[in-house]
Structure 1
Amino acid sequence: MKRINRLSSFLSAVSVLAVLTAVGASAQEQQPPAAPGAPEPPAPEQKPAAPAGEPPVVIADELIYDQTLGLVTARGKVEINQNNQILRADQVTYNQKTQIVAASGHVALVQPGGEVMLGDYAELTDDMKDGFIQQVSLILSDNSRMIGNSAVRERGEITTIDRALYSPCNLCKDDPTAPPLWQIRAIRVTSDAVSKDIIFHDAFIDLFGVPLFYSPYFSMPDPSVDRRQGFLFPSFGSTSDVGPFFGLQYYFDISPDQDATVGATLTRDSGTLFTGEYRKRFDKGLITLNGSINQSGYSKILNDNSGPNGSNLDFRSQQLRWHFFGTAAYDFDQNWRFGVNVNRTSDRTYIDNFNISGADILQSRAFAEGFYGLNYIGVEALDWQDLRTPGTGVGSKGFSPTILPSVTANYVSEPNTILGGQWFANASAVSLLRDFDAVTSDPNRGIDTRRLSTQAGWQREFYSDSGIVLSARTYLRADVYQSDDVPDGTLVVNGGPDEVLTKNGVAATRLFPVATATARYPFVGQLGSYQQMLEPIVSLSVAPHVSNGDKIPNNDSSDIEFDEINLFSESRFPGLDRVEGGQHVSYGFRYGLYGVDGTSATFFLGQSYRFETDDDFPESSGLRDQLSDYVGRVTVHPGPYLNLDWRFRLDKDNFYSRRQYVQATTTGPDWLNLNVNYSLLDDKGEDDEGNSFNQQQLGAGAKAQITDFWSLSTGMTYDIENMRPFRYNLGAQYMDECFTFGVNVQRQFTTAEDQKEGYSFFLTLNLKNLGEVPLKFSADQSRTPGT
């Protein structure tokens, strides 16, 4: 026997040592010469050569070679590296005759994928592809663990562990012997490195050490798999809309760039819901298709007392109900892109009943857009489906036009091109189509319209030596309208519903020049450690008094919101259908304090004066009289964790609040976030369409991180005007490295058609690597739907 001591430094330096027989070479070639006088060793038994592969690289403190028995033993921090596999142990023995490697003491076998197999004792073939390990512990690539009595390894591909425990959870630091937060106990577990499957036989899922679920067989992809075809975790629960339900989906991994999901949800009260989704991604685009179909009954509000017993509620018998959401987008090059969004449903309450979407308006759009520096061109078609409750001027097809098409082009020159400023040009063309009913629809908003609008102008900023900043802007706009179904003012009474006569082909033109000058004079000074700024602002806008007239319909200028943002605009009307003619002066001042530590407080107050009244503005807008209402804003940032914002509009005559929005939010510390908001909308009276609106609403929300793992959240919305809440919710969530559990309780107080008020309970259970278990429960109150 020859002994070689302390060879680790030498082996590390040369990085090679085939002392462990070079794995596959004949034993005769590996034997050292016999000592003088020693008998010749017997000829080694001939064995078939092992498959060709990389020679092993061995590092050890001590190597011992037994020539008689054909044993090579490495001791002390042994590490063997072969074919991207690493074997570590306190002692490794290689038997040249049986070609078996035996490792003992802190055995660790590291695989190319990152998995680590630990054990007390292991026997492996010389290529380390087959063998067994006692008291095994397997660490997967995502740091999840599996332990068992023993493991058998076959072909370097399949590992079978007996009496196994699996968990991705970390052990308790205070008591490592305690069971993890959740685990899987199985009689046998098979890990397939080729199919990337982990298969459990006779398995229990334990939560907090308590068995919750048993399955004779189930499998999951190993952590290295990004996605895998198969059944998704089922969803189940109960709601007041559909009753108890159970849903199951199957996921198809079609290719790396596309997938699909199909599923079915069984409900007690609303039949079976079939769902499907398809997704595909291209180099420069994507497609997503999502839809569902169901056959069930539902209620509908009629608004004409034609329901049973003269009511407004009509229950529809079994009908086919569905939804379809589709998206396609493609970038042709760095300048042009194309997209399509289609969102439709069979009826008003379907997507909400089945918890598909909470949207109250569905928009469908097709568009193509081009971007060239500061310039833009776009072509689009739009259509809307209004799902809001009808009967209040919304929800009718007459109010939801189809735009086919809309074309927009904007050009802005580079600075300092003409008279030291910029010139700009805009053009747009739009065609609005509606299903008009002169009896049931609002005549002023049920008109088919074609509009062409062009605008060309110039703008520049001037800076004086004294600090005054002057902005000048002027443009000329031209509009051409052509409309159908325009009421001519004749009312026909024919014994039935009254009928309003209409005209087609009604044309109108408008030429509108505007010039605006705005001056700002900021004063900056020091107030202790704060920097302060006072900035008076005044703006003059001059334009001819232009009557919008009855021949020009109002499609995009009806929703007027007068505030500090548009106070200095040439026209306070949104959109293009209405223009603000005549001359008006807007004035206000801004004051701010700014600290070196980031704290700040700003205040703005302004008003507008028109040289003559404008009846085109509704009374509720605050702009109809010569003097407008006051608008302002206060923002306070007293520290790194709190923001306060107050926006308001005050009546010019008595400072009565017409619009208010107050919001307080915290941005830290990380363990607490608060949001409180108050809104008030108080119209002076009815507008030109006979509508008035008064509402006060209080909203609040909070989220607190109680511990490293537990957080609480709450929120509410309260109708102050009617002294009743809209909704409130309370939730709690636990989240750690392997487990998420959440519970949320929501109370809904509003009802509409077949939607009922009541409680909803949402439970979320997410087990890492197994998926999410969504649950929803709700209990309705004994109240007639639609009231």
Structure 2
Amino acid sequence: MRKLVFFSAGIVSCLSSVSFAQEDMLCKRSTQDVFLPFAVYPEEPEVQVEADTAQIRQSGTSVFTGNVDVIRGGQQLNADHARYNQQTGEVHASGNVRLRDSDIVLRAQEAEWSMVDDEGALLDVEYQTREMHARGRADNVYRQGMSWTSMKNATYTTCMEGDDTWLLSAGRVYLDHDSAVGEATNVVVRVKGVPIFYTPYINFPLNDERKSGFLPPSIGNSSKNGFDVSTPYYWNIAPNRDATITPRYMGDRGLLLSGQYRYLYEGGEGQIEAGFLSSDNKRRDGELLNPNYRDDRKHFTLQHLGDSGSNWFTEVDYNYVSDRQYLEDFGTNLSLTSTTHLNRLLRVGYSNPNWTLNARLHGYQTVADVSRPYQRLPQIVFRGNLPDQAFGLSYEMKAEYVMFDHSDRVRGQRVDLEPGISLPMGTPGMFLTPRVAVRHTRYDLNNTSDTDFNRNINRTLPVLSLDSGLFFERPLSFRNGRYTQTLEPRAFYLYIPERNQDRIPVFDTNLRTFGMASLFSHDRFTGTDRVGDANQLTVGLTSRFINNRTGREGFRMTVGQIRYFTDRDVVLPDRGEVGRRSDSDIVAEVVAAVTRSWSVAGEMQWDARDSKSSMSSAQIRYRGDDGGVFNIGHRYRRDSSNFLEGLEQIDVSAALPVNERWSVIGRYYRSIKDGRNLEMLAGFEYRSCCWATRLVYRDYLKYSFNDAFDDAPRNSDRRDKAIFLEFELKGLGSFGKRSDSLLQRSIIGYQN
């Protein structure tokens, strides 16, 4: 073996970095003995040369023959023959040339390199990259040191060798490694040999950093918008700022131009979104007239979160749409299309370990035929807590000032104060917490001339409670596993005297939905306008099974009930009768991890007097190691239970692999009480190592009523049907109507 310092070779980068993916288990490619290991080398590494025979000349051309192996600084050259001219600094290798490092392997018939200019060329090249498992070929590759690479007549694919399901070809490719940007001309994408895309020019990033450029288009068709195509353009403004501009053409409506701007800095982050559709072209929506025909339609959203680093924080959430049907027409999921109010919030706050202060302005834009809520202009809330003070006492304070504004109703100011003191006591096996608080509220009202309300109202109430619990545990063996079973009885007594509050307006108060969380609550109302009278005792029992090895909770069961010693006289206007029952529904909850993949959860409220269920919910969930998910849930609520409208719904969803490549997707979401389907999904996915496709059919309820349509029958269903067809060429991008975000919302646990 002889050693010569003569060789420095370059590497060609992969053609496209549009998307970076982890290794696909379907592509069982071995990288062992192909790429060199990652390592750090000195700036002037030594060159090692091995060959079967060598003719060394100090002032001429040295010749190496047979199994030539040259290693220098993380790069290796193998060839049948190699010549080195020490005077010109030129190297020529031929015959089964292989050039490789930790990122790429190139195979060629000939390679030339200049030590003087640190540049060289390879002819008739095949390459393979570690990133994306990409491979391809080029007529020639020219490299200028580590700065740039040029290729002629190059191809690129992520399919395994021998599989050209898809192939990208380009006349010329230029890679600027310093700026990590690539350019290509006369680009053609072929699938199964058929050209499906052409562009005279593209540019692309050479690493996972963001770069400006067009993103894959989204193409689809739906009954509400017709042919629908979006072509987003991504603008990488700065490392902490970017924007996406999306022209969206809808065959039935026209061109909607929307944009999103995002920013991030040391003290905050946020985004701005806006959209504009000039003159909606859709005359009719099914059998109904489009109330926005020929109107300009638009939306605007500003969301900001700020943190100054000195305990101060800010929040802005402002939303606007031009008309009530905007979300219904351009939204894509049930929760969005059923939105009734858009938030408009400005909040400033301060927080430290013992107290917080929040000030906010809070309003809404109403986008449905429902009552407009009160606006808070402003609201200031203070919460403080001083635990473990003298004699073990803990002090707390809640204070609120709010100005309620409304165009049609009584409005005014409200001040609410609730100082409290408690004495937490306990041991590892028990706890006992007596608490005393005083609730004082004052109202100064306006616009009361047509009401029974006084301009000035005061209300003061004591709040007494005693919370207690015990903890028991024992060892337990089950199926060769060791567990700890706990038994946790709890008793909670609450006393609040009754005060007549009929002459107090209701600004922001509602009845709390009865359930497990409300058993141990200090108030049965949300908000401040009503303080519920109480003389009651809650008794509950919880048992857990905890795995001693993992510490995970494998099973939990809780049951509880409230015993009332007096009637509940405080009610909301027109929201039910005085509570005269001596006990509440029995509430039970069960959560269990049956196996590593299967879990069940359920909750029930049982009316012992009527011997019937008031509310129930049950879920069964499966999460497989192969990525499969299955969910089935049933929800039921009796009419007038807790003054809420009854419902009964079933929801079944799944994304289950059939084999390594095929998966089926589906959801069946139905209101049994109303006898109508809320959403149905059906489709499949196919995945290989280099491409994937997804086809999903969706039928969902857009809206069940809309008084904006004068000729619409009340409670008439308005549905939409859509087909999502998406192709992904791994390592290049995806085309078609994207459905991954829809599936993540509709199928719990789904991952693309």
TM range (shorter): 0.7 to 0.9
1:8-47 residue pairs with structure 2 within 5 A?
11=3, 17-18=4-5
Distance in 1, matches of 2:663 and 2:579, equals 47
Aligned to 2:154: 164
Give, as a single letter, the amino acid of the residue that structure 2 aligns with 1:79: V
Change (3 A) 1:636 1:190: closer
Aligned to 2:60: 70
Deviation at 1:615, TM superposition (A): 4.6
Structure 2 residue matching 1:318: 3-state secondary structure: coil
1:654 to 598, 610, 613: 610
Alignment check: 8 A CA contact 1:616 1:624 kept:
no
Aligned to 1:406: 379
Deviation at 1:665, TM superposition (A): 1.8
Alignment check: 8 A CA contact 1:297 1:315 kept:
no
1:549 aligns with 2:549: no
Distance in 2, matches of 1:455 and 1:131, equals 80
Alignment check: 8 A CA contact 1:78 1:92 kept:
no
1:481-630 residue pairs with structure 2 within 5 A?
481-486=443-448, 501-502=450-451, 506-525=455-474, 529=478, 532-550=485-503, 552-592=504-544, 599-616=554-571, 625-630=581-586
1:79 aligns with 2:70: yes
Distance in 2, matches of 1:384 and 1:541, equals 36
Distance in 2, matches of 1:528 and 1:152, equals 68
Structure 1 residue matching 2:327: 3-state secondary structure: helix
Aligned to 1:781: none
Deviations 1:310-340 (A, max 9, x none): x997734422211111122221114222221
Alignment check: 8 A CA contact 2:567 2:578 kept:
no
Distance in 1, matches of 2:485 and 2:187, equals 70
Deviation at 1:620, TM superposition (A): 6.3
Give, as a single letter, the amino acid of the residue that structure 1 aligns with 2:600: L
Give, as a single letter, the amino acid of the residue that structure 1 aligns with 2:581: D
Give, as a single letter, the amino acid of the residue that structure 1 aligns with 2:610: N
Aligned to 1:29: none
Aligned to 2:723: 761
Alignment check: 8 A CA contact 2:530 2:570 kept:
no
Aligned to 1:429: 401
Alignment check: 8 A CA contact 2:344 2:364 kept:
yes
Structure 1 residue matching 2:737: 3-state secondary structure: strand
1:337 to 306, 313, 334: 313
Alignment check: 8 A CA contact 1:562 1:622 kept:
no
1:677 aligns with 2:633: yes
2:275 to 292, 307, 318: 292
Alignment check: 8 A CA contact 2:205 2:211 kept:
no
Aligned to 1:718: 670
Deviation at 1:356, TM superposition (A): 6.9
Deviation at 1:345, TM superposition (A): 1.0
Change (3 A) 1:469 1:229: closer
1:182-331 residue pairs with structure 2 within 5 A?
182-193=166-177, 196-207=180-191, 209-215=192-198, 217-224=200-207, 226-297=209-280, 315-331=291-307
Distance in 2, matches of 1:664 and 1:621, equals 37
Structure 1 residue matching 2:506: 3-state secondary structure: coil
Distance in 2, matches of 1:730 and 1:660, equals 28
Aligned to 1:420: 392
Distance in 2, matches of 1:201 and 1:299, equals 40
Deviation at 1:166, TM superposition (A): 0.5
Alignment check: 8 A CA contact 1:298 1:315 kept:
no
Deviation at 1:187, TM superposition (A): 4.5
Structure 2 residue matching 1:353: 3-state secondary structure: helix
More displaced 10-residue stretch of structure 1: 595-604 or 129-138: 595-604
TM-score scaled by length of structure 2: 0.81
Alignment check: 8 A CA contact 1:259 1:278 kept:
yes
Change (3 A) 1:54 1:238: closer
Larger relative contact order, structure 1 or 2 (CA cutoff 8 Å, min sep 6): 2
- Gaps spanning 5+ residues in structure 1: where? 1-5, 12-16, 22-52, 302-310, 437-445, 489-500, 778-787
1:449 aligns with 2:412: yes
Give, as a single letter, the amino acid of the residue that structure 2 aligns with 1:378: N
Alignment check: 8 A CA contact 2:677 2:701 kept:
yes
Distance in 1, matches of 2:50 and 2:292, equals 85
Change (3 A) 1:607 1:71: same
Alignment check: 8 A CA contact 2:622 2:630 kept:
yes
Deviation at 1:375, TM superposition (A): 2.3
Aligned to 2:19: none
Deviations 1:343-383 (A, max 9, x none): 21111221342247752142122212222114222112222
Aligned residues: 679
Deviations 1:653-691 (A, max 9, x none): 21221121222223444443222111112134895xxxx
More displaced 10-residue stretch of structure 1: 57-66 or 538-547: 57-66
Change (3 A) 1:276 1:132: same
Distance in 2, matches of 1:261 and 1:535, equals 54
Alignment check: 8 A CA contact 2:394 2:424 kept:
no
Give, as a single letter, the amino acid of the residue that structure 2 aligns with 1:341: D
Give, as a single letter, the amino acid of the residue that structure 2 aligns with 1:413: L
Alignment check: 8 A CA contact 2:170 2:188 kept:
yes
Say which one has the larger Rg: 1
1:61 aligns with 2:50: yes
Deviations 1:124-180 (A, max 9, x none): 2224644331231234562453433531415445544444321133x1xxxx4232x
- Gaps spanning 5+ residues in structure 2: where? 9-41, 710-716, 740-752
Change (3 A) 1:251 1:641: closer
Give, as a single letter, the amino acid of the residue that structure 1 aligns with 2:670: Y
Structure 2 residue matching 1:351: 3-state secondary structure: helix
Alignment check: 8 A CA contact 1:703 1:711 kept:
yes
Aligned to 1:122: 111
Distance in 1, matches of 2:85 and 2:475, equals 87
Distance in 1, matches of 2:148 and 2:580, equals 81
Distance in 2, matches of 1:153 and 1:685, equals 77
1:452-471 residue pairs with structure 2 within 5 A?
452-463=415-426, 469-471=431-433
Give, as a single letter, the amino acid of the residue that structure 2 aligns with 1:134: L
Give, as a single letter, the amino acid of the residue that structure 1 aligns with 2:525: F
Give, as a single letter, the amino acid of the residue that structure 1 aligns with 2:621: T
Deviation at 1:769, TM superposition (A): 4.3
